[in-house]
Protein backbone atom coordinates (compact mmCIF):
# COMPACT_ATOMS: atom_id res chain seq x y z
CA UNK A 1 0.00 0.00 0.00
CA UNK A 2 1.28 3.45 -0.92
CA UNK A 3 2.43 5.51 2.05
CA UNK A 4 1.62 9.24 2.08
CA UNK A 5 3.13 11.93 4.32
CA UNK A 6 1.48 15.33 4.84
CA UNK A 7 3.74 18.32 5.53
CA UNK A 8 1.81 21.37 6.74
CA UNK A 9 1.25 23.78 9.64
CA UNK A 10 -0.38 20.96 11.61
CA UNK A 11 1.13 21.96 14.96
CA UNK A 12 0.27 25.67 14.94
CA UNK A 13 -2.08 26.29 17.85
CA UNK A 14 -4.44 27.80 15.35
CA UNK A 15 -7.89 26.30 14.82
CA UNK A 16 -7.89 26.45 11.02
CA UNK A 17 -4.36 25.06 10.66
CA UNK A 18 -5.05 21.97 12.73
CA UNK A 19 -8.49 21.33 11.26
CA UNK A 20 -7.29 21.52 7.65
CA UNK A 21 -4.53 19.04 8.51
CA UNK A 22 -7.15 16.76 10.10
CA UNK A 23 -9.32 17.01 6.98
CA UNK A 24 -6.59 16.15 4.46
CA UNK A 25 -5.40 13.18 6.51
CA UNK A 26 -9.01 11.96 6.89
CA UNK A 27 -9.54 12.25 3.13
CA UNK A 28 -6.58 9.96 2.40
CA UNK A 29 -7.52 7.47 5.13
CA UNK A 30 -11.11 7.34 3.85
CA UNK A 31 -9.67 6.67 0.38
CA UNK A 32 -7.88 3.58 1.70
CA UNK A 33 -4.36 5.04 1.71
CA UNK A 34 -1.80 4.82 4.50
CA UNK A 35 -1.22 8.39 5.64
CA UNK A 36 0.75 10.20 8.37
CA UNK A 37 1.15 13.79 9.40
CA UNK A 38 4.90 14.50 9.26
CA UNK A 39 5.53 15.93 12.74
CA UNK A 40 7.87 18.71 11.65
CA UNK A 41 7.90 21.51 14.25
CA UNK A 42 10.32 24.42 14.34
CA UNK A 43 11.56 25.98 17.58
CA UNK A 44 10.12 29.37 16.68
CA UNK A 45 6.69 27.89 15.96
CA UNK A 46 6.64 26.18 19.34
CA UNK A 47 7.55 29.47 21.04
CA UNK A 48 4.89 31.42 19.11
CA UNK A 49 2.20 29.12 20.52
CA UNK A 50 3.68 28.58 23.99
CA UNK A 51 1.52 29.67 26.91
CA UNK A 52 4.13 32.34 27.71
CA UNK A 53 6.34 33.53 24.85
CA UNK A 54 10.07 34.22 25.12
CA UNK A 55 9.94 36.79 22.33
CA UNK A 56 11.02 40.35 23.13
CA UNK A 57 9.02 43.54 22.70
CA UNK A 58 6.30 45.53 24.39
CA UNK A 59 3.41 43.70 22.72
CA UNK A 60 4.76 40.35 23.94
CA UNK A 61 5.17 41.73 27.47
CA UNK A 62 1.52 42.87 27.38
CA UNK A 63 0.44 39.49 26.08
CA UNK A 64 2.35 37.61 28.79
CA UNK A 65 0.96 39.93 31.47
CA UNK A 66 -2.61 39.22 30.36
CA UNK A 67 -1.99 35.48 30.05
CA UNK A 68 -0.78 35.42 33.66
CA UNK A 69 -4.13 36.85 34.80
CA UNK A 70 -5.96 34.00 33.01
CA UNK A 71 -3.20 31.41 33.18
CA UNK A 72 -5.41 28.41 34.02
CA UNK A 73 -7.61 28.87 30.93
CA UNK A 74 -4.63 29.46 28.64
CA UNK A 75 -2.86 26.39 29.99
CA UNK A 76 -6.01 24.31 29.42
CA UNK A 77 -6.21 25.67 25.87
CA UNK A 78 -2.58 24.71 25.21
CA UNK A 79 -3.24 21.19 26.48
CA UNK A 80 -6.35 20.82 24.30
CA UNK A 81 -4.32 21.67 21.20
CA UNK A 82 -1.56 19.24 22.16
CA UNK A 83 -4.15 16.53 22.86
CA UNK A 84 -5.68 17.10 19.43
CA UNK A 85 -2.23 16.58 17.91
CA UNK A 86 -1.79 13.30 19.76
CA UNK A 87 -5.28 11.83 19.60
CA UNK A 88 -6.76 13.15 16.33
CA UNK A 89 -3.71 13.77 14.15
CA UNK A 90 -1.80 10.86 15.75
CA UNK A 91 1.51 12.67 15.43
CA UNK A 92 4.60 10.67 16.28
CA UNK A 93 8.16 11.72 17.02
CA UNK A 94 9.02 15.36 16.36
CA UNK A 95 11.25 15.86 13.33
CA UNK A 96 13.72 18.58 12.36
CA UNK A 97 15.24 19.82 9.09
CA UNK A 98 17.95 17.15 9.14
CA UNK A 99 15.36 14.37 9.36
CA UNK A 100 13.76 15.25 6.01
CA UNK A 101 16.30 13.30 3.96
CA UNK A 102 15.37 10.11 5.81
CA UNK A 103 11.59 10.28 5.31
CA UNK A 104 10.20 6.88 4.33
CA UNK A 105 7.21 7.85 2.17
CA UNK A 106 6.26 7.11 -1.41
CA UNK A 107 4.84 10.62 -1.75
CA UNK A 108 4.83 13.78 0.37
CA UNK A 109 1.92 16.22 0.13
CA UNK A 110 2.80 19.76 1.12
CA UNK A 111 -0.26 21.76 2.17
CA UNK A 112 -2.69 23.08 2.77
CA UNK A 113 -2.50 26.45 4.56
CA UNK A 114 -0.02 29.35 4.25
CA UNK A 115 3.06 27.14 4.24
CA UNK A 116 4.51 29.10 1.29
CA UNK A 117 4.08 32.46 3.02
CA UNK A 118 7.74 33.44 3.23
CA UNK A 119 6.83 36.35 5.53
CA UNK A 120 5.31 34.10 8.18
CA UNK A 121 7.26 33.99 11.44
CA UNK A 122 7.32 30.18 11.38
CA UNK A 123 8.15 29.82 7.69
CA UNK A 124 10.75 27.22 6.72
CA UNK A 125 12.15 26.18 3.35
CA UNK A 126 11.26 22.60 4.31
CA UNK A 127 7.66 23.48 3.39
CA UNK A 128 8.87 23.91 -0.21
CA UNK A 129 10.29 20.38 -0.01
CA UNK A 130 13.88 21.30 0.85
CA UNK A 131 15.77 18.09 1.65
CA UNK A 132 12.91 15.75 0.67
CA UNK A 133 13.89 13.24 -2.01
CA UNK A 134 10.61 11.38 -2.61
CA UNK A 135 7.79 12.40 -4.96
CA UNK A 136 6.26 15.76 -3.98
CA UNK A 137 2.80 17.17 -4.66
CA UNK A 138 1.33 20.44 -3.34
CA UNK A 139 -2.32 20.64 -2.33
CA UNK A 140 -4.16 23.94 -1.76
CA UNK A 141 -1.06 25.82 -0.64
CA UNK A 142 -1.15 29.57 -0.09
CA UNK A 143 1.44 32.33 -0.05
CA UNK A 144 -0.69 34.35 2.36
CA UNK A 145 -1.73 37.90 1.77
CA UNK A 146 1.58 39.71 1.41
CA UNK A 147 3.11 41.87 -1.31
CA UNK A 148 2.53 39.81 -4.44
CA UNK A 149 4.16 42.43 -6.65
CA UNK A 150 7.54 41.56 -5.12
CA UNK A 151 8.63 38.35 -6.81
CA UNK A 152 12.18 38.48 -5.45
CA UNK A 153 11.13 36.92 -2.16
CA UNK A 154 9.80 33.88 -4.07
CA UNK A 155 12.19 33.46 -6.99
CA UNK A 156 14.79 31.64 -4.92
CA UNK A 157 12.43 28.67 -4.61
CA UNK A 158 12.10 28.12 -8.37
CA UNK A 159 14.34 25.03 -8.40
CA UNK A 160 12.37 23.49 -5.52
CA UNK A 161 9.03 24.19 -7.22
CA UNK A 162 10.24 22.47 -10.37
CA UNK A 163 10.79 19.27 -8.37
CA UNK A 164 7.03 18.95 -7.80
CA UNK A 165 5.00 16.43 -9.78
CA UNK A 166 1.90 18.63 -9.43
CA UNK A 167 0.96 21.87 -7.69
CA UNK A 168 -2.46 23.14 -6.66
CA UNK A 169 -3.21 26.30 -4.71
CA UNK A 170 -6.23 27.70 -2.88
CA UNK A 171 -6.28 31.32 -4.11
CA UNK A 172 -5.73 33.28 -7.32
CA UNK A 173 -2.91 35.45 -5.95
CA UNK A 174 -0.83 32.36 -5.11
CA UNK A 175 -1.63 30.88 -8.52
CA UNK A 176 -0.36 34.03 -10.24
CA UNK A 177 2.84 34.05 -8.20
CA UNK A 178 3.60 30.36 -8.82
CA UNK A 179 2.92 30.80 -12.54
CA UNK A 180 5.24 33.82 -12.71
CA UNK A 181 8.09 31.75 -11.27
CA UNK A 182 7.53 28.37 -12.96
CA UNK A 183 5.71 29.26 -16.17
CA UNK A 184 2.99 26.74 -15.31
CA UNK A 185 -0.52 27.64 -14.13
CA UNK A 186 -1.43 25.69 -10.97
CA UNK A 187 -4.96 24.49 -10.42
CA UNK A 188 -7.04 26.35 -7.81
CA UNK A 189 -8.75 23.91 -5.43
CA UNK A 190 -10.74 24.02 -2.20
CA UNK A 191 -9.22 24.07 1.26
CA UNK A 192 -9.24 20.55 2.79
CA UNK A 193 -11.96 21.45 5.32
CA UNK A 194 -14.38 21.76 2.39
CA UNK A 195 -13.76 18.19 1.29
CA UNK A 196 -16.33 17.23 3.96
CA UNK A 197 -19.83 18.42 4.77
CA UNK A 198 -21.08 19.68 8.12
CA UNK A 199 -21.90 16.21 9.50
CA UNK A 200 -18.17 15.41 9.73
CA UNK A 201 -17.47 18.60 11.64
CA UNK A 202 -20.55 18.33 13.86
CA UNK A 203 -19.37 14.92 15.04
CA UNK A 204 -15.95 16.35 15.92
CA UNK A 205 -17.26 19.38 17.86
CA UNK A 206 -17.11 19.39 21.69
CA UNK A 207 -18.74 21.77 24.13
CA UNK A 208 -16.25 23.92 26.06
CA UNK A 209 -16.22 23.89 29.85
CA UNK A 210 -18.03 27.18 30.20
CA UNK A 211 -21.52 28.55 30.72
CA UNK A 212 -22.54 30.17 27.44
CA UNK A 213 -25.32 32.67 26.72
CA UNK A 214 -28.39 31.00 25.19
CA UNK A 215 -27.89 33.07 22.03
CA UNK A 216 -24.65 34.79 21.13
CA UNK A 217 -22.38 36.21 18.44
CA UNK A 218 -19.11 34.31 18.02
CA UNK A 219 -16.29 36.78 17.39
CA UNK A 220 -13.01 35.34 16.14
CA UNK A 221 -10.03 37.27 14.83
CA UNK A 222 -6.33 36.50 14.46
CA UNK A 223 -5.36 40.10 15.20
CA UNK A 224 -7.91 42.42 16.74
CA UNK A 225 -7.37 46.06 15.77
CA UNK A 226 -9.38 48.94 17.25
CA UNK A 227 -11.39 49.14 14.02
CA UNK A 228 -12.29 45.45 14.13
CA UNK A 229 -13.22 45.60 17.82
CA UNK A 230 -15.36 48.71 17.23
CA UNK A 231 -17.12 46.95 14.34
CA UNK A 232 -17.88 43.92 16.53
CA UNK A 233 -19.19 46.17 19.30
CA UNK A 234 -21.44 48.04 16.86
CA UNK A 235 -22.81 44.83 15.34
CA UNK A 236 -23.49 43.37 18.78
CA UNK A 237 -25.54 46.46 19.64
CA UNK A 238 -27.42 46.40 16.32
CA UNK A 239 -28.20 42.69 16.46
CA UNK A 240 -28.93 42.72 20.18
CA UNK A 241 -26.79 39.73 21.18
CA UNK A 242 -23.73 39.34 23.46
CA UNK A 243 -20.28 38.48 22.11
CA UNK A 244 -18.39 35.26 22.86
CA UNK A 245 -14.69 35.02 22.00
CA UNK A 246 -12.19 32.15 22.27
CA UNK A 247 -8.96 34.04 21.61
CA UNK A 248 -7.52 37.40 22.62
CA UNK A 249 -4.80 38.98 20.52
CA UNK A 250 -4.48 42.61 21.65
CA UNK A 251 -5.68 45.17 24.16
CA UNK A 252 -8.70 45.79 21.91
CA UNK A 253 -10.31 42.38 22.34
CA UNK A 254 -9.09 42.16 25.93
CA UNK A 255 -11.13 45.30 26.69
CA UNK A 256 -14.08 44.33 24.48
CA UNK A 257 -17.21 43.53 26.49
CA UNK A 258 -17.61 39.81 25.88
CA UNK A 259 -17.79 36.34 27.35
CA UNK A 260 -14.21 35.09 27.08
CA UNK A 261 -14.01 31.31 26.71
CA UNK A 262 -10.26 30.95 26.40
CA UNK A 263 -9.92 27.24 27.20
CA UNK A 264 -10.88 26.16 23.67
CA UNK A 265 -9.08 23.76 21.40
CA UNK A 266 -10.05 22.98 17.78
CA UNK A 267 -13.08 20.89 18.76
CA UNK A 268 -14.42 23.54 21.13
CA UNK A 269 -13.92 26.16 18.42
CA UNK A 270 -16.19 24.13 16.12
CA UNK A 271 -18.85 23.96 18.84
CA UNK A 272 -18.80 27.72 19.50
CA UNK A 273 -19.07 28.53 15.80
CA UNK A 274 -21.71 25.85 15.04
CA UNK A 275 -24.00 27.02 17.85
CA UNK A 276 -23.66 30.78 17.33
CA UNK A 277 -26.54 32.86 15.98
CA UNK A 278 -24.01 34.87 14.02
CA UNK A 279 -20.24 34.94 13.41
CA UNK A 280 -17.99 38.01 13.08
CA UNK A 281 -14.50 37.22 11.87
CA UNK A 282 -11.34 38.24 10.04
CA UNK A 283 -10.25 34.59 9.69
CA UNK A 284 -10.21 32.63 6.43
CA UNK A 285 -11.07 29.33 8.10
CA UNK A 286 -13.78 30.86 10.29
CA UNK A 287 -15.40 32.05 7.03
CA UNK A 288 -15.14 28.51 5.61
CA UNK A 289 -16.71 26.93 8.68
CA UNK A 290 -19.43 29.61 8.75
CA UNK A 291 -20.29 28.53 5.19
CA UNK A 292 -20.11 24.82 6.07
CA UNK A 293 -22.47 25.30 9.04
CA UNK A 294 -24.77 27.65 7.06
CA UNK A 295 -24.18 30.45 9.55
CA UNK A 296 -25.07 34.09 9.21
CA UNK A 297 -21.68 35.78 9.29
CA UNK A 298 -19.83 39.02 8.70
CA UNK A 299 -16.29 39.08 7.27
CA UNK A 300 -14.57 42.23 8.52
CA UNK A 301 -12.07 43.85 6.18
CA UNK A 302 -12.17 41.03 3.63
CA UNK A 303 -12.09 43.38 0.63
CA UNK A 304 -8.36 43.75 1.36
CA UNK A 305 -7.67 40.03 1.77
CA UNK A 306 -7.09 38.12 -1.48
CA UNK A 307 -7.89 34.71 0.02
CA UNK A 308 -11.12 35.84 1.65
CA UNK A 309 -12.27 37.78 -1.42
CA UNK A 310 -11.80 34.63 -3.51
CA UNK A 311 -13.87 32.34 -1.29
CA UNK A 312 -16.62 34.93 -0.78
CA UNK A 313 -16.73 35.41 -4.56
CA UNK A 314 -17.06 31.66 -5.15
CA UNK A 315 -20.19 31.56 -2.99
CA UNK A 316 -21.54 34.91 -4.20
CA UNK A 317 -21.93 36.35 -0.72
CA UNK A 318 -20.29 39.76 -1.07
CA UNK A 319 -23.00 41.24 1.21
CA UNK A 320 -21.32 39.41 4.10
CA UNK A 321 -18.25 41.64 3.80
CA UNK A 322 -18.61 44.49 6.28
CA UNK A 323 -16.68 47.68 6.87
CA UNK A 324 -16.85 50.63 9.23
CA UNK A 325 -19.86 52.18 7.53
CA UNK A 326 -22.16 49.15 7.19
CA UNK A 327 -25.81 50.15 7.23
CA UNK A 328 -28.52 48.66 9.40
CA UNK A 329 -30.32 47.59 6.21
CA UNK A 330 -27.29 45.63 5.03
CA UNK A 331 -26.94 43.91 8.40
CA UNK A 332 -30.66 43.12 8.48
CA UNK A 333 -30.46 41.57 5.01
CA UNK A 334 -27.75 39.14 6.13
CA UNK A 335 -29.52 38.32 9.41
CA UNK A 336 -32.92 37.75 7.77
CA UNK A 337 -31.70 35.62 4.86
CA UNK A 338 -31.55 31.85 5.36
CA UNK A 339 -28.95 30.17 3.15
CA UNK A 340 -28.01 26.57 2.51
CA UNK A 341 -24.55 26.28 0.96
CA UNK A 342 -24.41 22.46 0.93
CA UNK A 343 -24.87 21.99 -2.83
CA UNK A 344 -22.39 24.73 -3.65
CA UNK A 345 -19.87 23.15 -1.27
CA UNK A 346 -20.24 19.81 -3.09
CA UNK A 347 -19.70 21.54 -6.42
CA UNK A 348 -16.73 23.53 -5.10
CA UNK A 349 -15.06 20.43 -3.62
CA UNK A 350 -15.07 18.53 -6.93
CA UNK A 351 -11.90 20.21 -8.18
CA UNK A 352 -10.03 19.28 -5.02
CA UNK A 353 -11.18 15.68 -5.07
CA UNK A 354 -10.32 15.28 -8.75
CA UNK A 355 -6.87 16.78 -8.23
CA UNK A 356 -6.14 14.37 -5.38
CA UNK A 357 -7.55 11.36 -7.30
CA UNK A 358 -5.39 12.21 -10.32
CA UNK A 359 -2.17 13.04 -8.50
CA UNK A 360 -2.11 10.87 -5.38
CA UNK A 361 -2.36 7.26 -6.49
Quick one: pLDDT band at residue 146, thresholds 50, 70, 90? low
3-class SS string, the chain: CCEEEEECCCCCCCHHHHHHHHHHHHHHHHCCCEEEECCECCHHHHHHCCCCCCCCCHHHHHHHHHHHHCHHHHHHHHHHHHHHHHHCCCCCCCECHHHHHHCCCCEEEECCECCCCCCCCCCCHHHHCCCCCCEEEEEEECCCCCCCCCCHHHHCCHHHHCCCCEEEECCHHHHHHHHHHHCCCCEECCCHHHHCCHHHHHHHCCCCCCCCCCCCEEEECCCCCHHHHHHHHHHHHHHCCCEEECCCCCHHHHHCCCEECCCCCHHHHHHHHHCCCEEEECCHHHHHHHHHCCCCEEEECHHHCHHHHHHHHHCCCHHHEECCCCCHHHHHHHHHCCCCCHHHHHHHHHHHHHHHHHHCC
d(CA 247, CA 12): 14
- Judge whether residue 133 has pLDDT over 90: yes
* Rounded average pLDDT over 332-349: 89
Share of the chain above pLDDT 70, in %: 96
* pLDDT for residue 333: 79
Question: How much is the pLDDT for 336?
Answer: 83
Per-residue confidence (pLDDT) for residue 150, from 0 to 100: 58
Mean pLDDT of the region 269-276: 98
Mean pLDDT, residues 223-243 taken together: 92
Question: Average pLDDT, stretch 293-310?
Answer: 85
Is the pLDDT confidence value at 352 over 70? yes
Q: Quote the pLDDT of residue 92.
A: 85
Range 282-305 average pLDDT: 90
Average pLDDT on 292-312 reads: 86
Torsion 61-63-65-68 (CA) sign: negative
pLDDT tens readout for residues 80-102: 999 999 999 998 899 999 999 99
pTM: 0.94
Q: What is the pLDDT of residue 249?
A: 87
Q: What's the pLDDT at 6?
A: 98
Average pLDDT over residues 217-240: 92
pLDDT band of 204, cuts 50, 70, 90: very high
Residue 148 pLDDT > 60, yes or no?
no
The confidence band for 338, taking pLDDT boundaries of 50, 70 and 90, is confident
- Give yes or no for a cis peptide into 112 (omega within 30° of 0): yes
The string of pLDDT tens digits covering residues 149-160 is 556 677 889 999
Domains annotated for the chain, with CATH where assigned, are 3-194+348-359 (3.40.50), 198-344 (3.40.50.2000)
The model's confidence at residue 306, banded by pLDDT at 50, 70 and 90, is confident
Kindly report, residue by residue over 17-47, the tens digit of the pLDDT: 999 999 999 999 999 999 999 999 999 999 9
pLDDT for the residue numbered 324? 55
**257 — phi, psi (to 5°)?**
-65, 115
Is residue 62 over pLDDT 90? no
Residue 303 confidence class, pLDDT cut points 50, 70, 90: low
The answer, yes or no, to whether residue 14 has pLDDT greater than 90, is yes
Contact 222, 248 (CB under 8 A): no
CA 272 – CA 25 distance, rounded (Å) = 24
Q: Given this model, what pLDDT does residue 327 score?
A: 57
Amino acid sequence: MKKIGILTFHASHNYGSMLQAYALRKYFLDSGLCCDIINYRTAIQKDIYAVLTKRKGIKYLIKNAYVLTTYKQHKQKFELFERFLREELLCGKELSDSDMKDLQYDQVITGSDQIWNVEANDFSEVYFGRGISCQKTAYAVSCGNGNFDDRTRFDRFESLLREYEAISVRDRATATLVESVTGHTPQIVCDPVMLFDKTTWESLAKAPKAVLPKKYIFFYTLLCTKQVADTAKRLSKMIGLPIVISKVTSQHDILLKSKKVLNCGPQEFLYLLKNAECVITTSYHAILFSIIFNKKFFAVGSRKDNRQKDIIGVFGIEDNIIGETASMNGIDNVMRTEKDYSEKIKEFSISGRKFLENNVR
